[in-house]
Amino acid sequence: MLIGGFLIPVIMLIVRFTNFDRLAVVNGSDKVWDSLYHGSWRSMGLFLLPMGVILATSLVTQLEFRNNAWKQLHTTPQSLSTIFFAKLAVILVMLMQFFILFNVGIYLVGVIPSFFNGVPYPKQSYTPTLLLKQNYGFIIACLPIVALQYLLSLQFKNFLLPIGAGLGLLVASLIAVNWKHGYSIPYTYCSYNFLGAKVVPGGANIMAWSLGYFVVFTGLAYFLYIKKGEKG
Whether the per-residue pLDDT at 4 is higher than 80: the answer is no
113 lies in a domain? yes
Instruction: Report pLDDT digits (tens) over 51-83.
Output: 999 999 998 988 877 667 777 877 888 898 999
pLDDT at 206: 87
pLDDT at 201: 64
- In this structure, are residues 141 and 95 in contact, taking their beta carbons and an 8 Å threshold? no
Range of the domain at 73: 2-227
Number of domains in the chain: 1
- Say how far apart CA 6 and CA 102 lie, in whole Å: 6
pLDDT at 143: 97
- Say how far apart CA 12 and CA 28 lie, in whole Å: 18
pLDDT at 81: 92
7 lies in a domain? yes
Instruction: Report pLDDT digits (tens) over 21-30.
Output: 888 888 888 8
19 lies in a domain? yes
Instruction: Report pLDDT digits (tens) over 170-219.
Output: 999 989 888 888 889 999 999 888 887 655 666 788 889 999 999 999 99
232 lies in a domain? no
- Say how far apart CA 38 and CA 32 lie, in whole Å: 10
Residues present in the chain in total: 232
Torsion over CA of 11, 15, 20 and 26, rounded to 10 degrees?
-90
67 lies in a domain? yes
Kindly report the pTM of this predicted structure: 0.91
pLDDT at 230: 64
- Say how far apart CA 83 and CA 62 lie, in whole Å: 13
